[in-house]
Structures are given as C-alpha cells and as structure tokens.
Chain A
C-alpha cells in the first residue's frame, strides 16, 4: 500500500476530536523576559527584579503577552510548522492563571475539542483546541481556548496537482 503522506503536511483530518498534542518544554530566561517587556510591555515588574519581587507577581515575571508568544512558538514547533495552517480567527478565552517567573520551565499540551468543515469556504476545516501550560511545579500558568483554520487533505492535494501542472 502506498504511503498517503507523499506531502509531509498535516491537514484538518489529522486533528480529530480528543487528539492530544504535546507542546514540548520551554525554559524562561531573564534575557528573553526583559527583551519582550522593553518592546511590548514596559511595566516595572517585567523589567526589574526588585520591582517584580515587590509586586503582586512575586518575582521578575514575564509579560502575560510574552507567555502568549511563548505558547504560540511552542505550538508552532510542536505541529503548526508541519501543518497546512490558514491562521486563526481568535480565542474564546485566555486565562493567565499564575505569573511566569524567570527561571521557570514551561510544558503542556493541547486537546482537540471540536472539529468541523467550513460551510462557507470549501477545503477548510475549523478546529477548536484547548491549550494549557504549567510550570515545573505542575501549576497551570496559562490556558487558551483557540480556534484554528486548517486546509483539508483534498485541498492540499489539489494544490499539489495544480503546482505540478503549472
């Protein structure tokens, strides 16, 4: 039997409801926390260790948006880089559950909650995935309820045929 995946891309069909996606591990460094905060969220508790320790966050903490950006990168490395993705319309919810501090190690997973074909756009699936990252103590730090657009296998194969004919 010939292998189905001549093209290495994952498509909509590869993310059925219930599928669990391992997101790997991310170590949070001071250099990265400061660089992000200076550009996107220059509040004292994200820029200065003493200010962070004095604040409600309890230490030099990553901007919540940095945590989002780190989670995005973990998702990219885990599977989006090999997926025929068409972006995202947004998230139903995002929760910052605990501060992410310099030195923390983040890991987590995504779980497919819902998957359906688009009615308005042929060749596209709409897949809702809930993500959670936790720190090295197993405490949740962030959750997303996120919608993805993925191409279908048929759409990817049709594009490959068109490209071959061109």
Chain B
C-alpha cells in the first residue's frame, strides 16, 4: 500500500498476486521451521489427517507477506516514475483471527488479497493511522485456505487533528 491512509477505500479488495507452491519450497521451509512429519515426509503425510504433503501454515502466511511486498514494490516504482511521493510503509502491531482453513498442497496456486475493512486513528501517532484489513489466500479451486484480520500503520497525508476534549 504505497498510498496514504486518506486514499484507502473501505471495502476495496486488492489482489497482490499468486504463488505456486512447489515440493522443494515446502520442504525447505518445513525443514527449517516446522518439521512436523506431514510437512517433511510424504509417506507420513499420507497417513496423516492431511492425506498428502502440505505446506506449513507459517509458509502459507509468509507468502502472503511476500505477495504484499512485491505488490507494494511495483506500486512504488509506478508512483516514482509518475513523479509521486512514495510514503514509507509502517509496521504491523499484530493479527487477529488467523485461520488456516484448508491445507496447501504441492502444486497449489494461492492468490493473495487484502481488503480494507476499517481505518483507525492513533492519537499517540498523529502522522499515522491504522488500516484494518481482511487478508486472504485462495487456491486454484476458489477455496479460501488462509484468512486473517491484519492491522498496519499507514502514513497520513495530513496529520490527525486532535479534537478538543469535553464541551
């Protein structure tokens, strides 16, 4: 989101991009961070609740981030070429209701999106606001595999004017 808080439209869904999960990638991530048998061993995966080798949920989530960063980079380059100011991106304080709705299997292509659902003020940081987003990953069959309620700081074009108290 290389735009300012004021530019974000509530309800607008942004498609960041798609990623096809290969067996090699799934194994590399899982061996480093999540070597549960159903993420690193095909025979064990077949005997498991998942039925087949599947990606670590944190791999699915991390690829949402990668899709978002790549999208933002493309936007920033376009803005830069158009002579527009590219505001810095802000941090995220956290996520609510992160859900792994279905396994991501070898060869699945996941399309990652984000929809702004709310914009919040932070009186302690008048130059920034918080975008609340519904983040999603959907597979090639149209099934949601990943869902989360994200929060991220987004720069304001105009600083927040603090309202006088009382009255």
**Chain A residues within CB distance 8 Å of chain B:** 39-43, 56-57, 63-65, 68-70, 72-73, 76, 80-81, 85-96, 149
Contacts and interface: CB of A to CB of B under 8 A. Distances in A.
A87 B38 contact: yes
B97 A42 contact: no
Contact of A65 (B34, B35, B38, B58): B58
Interface string B52-77: 00001110011101100100000000
B70 to A, nearest CB: 8
Contacts of B48: 86
Interface residues of B, number: 31
B51 to A, nearest CB: 12
Q: Which of A57, A72, A92 has the most CB of B within 10 A?
A: A72
B99 A90 contact: yes
Contact of B89 (A43, A63, A76, A92): A43
Q: Which of B48, B58, B69 has the most CB of A within 10 A?
A: B58
Contacts, number: 86
Given A72-B56, A96-B92, 13 more contacts: A40-B62, A41-B65, A41-B69, A43-B69, A65-B58, A70-B33, A72-B58, A90-B99, A91-B97, A93-B94, A93-B97, A94-B94, A95-B94
A69 B28 CA distance: 13
A88 B100 contact: yes
B167 interface: no
10 contacts: A41-B65, A43-B69, A65-B65, A86-B48, A90-B57, A90-B99, A92-B96, A93-B94, A93-B97, A95-B94
A101 B16 CA distance: 28
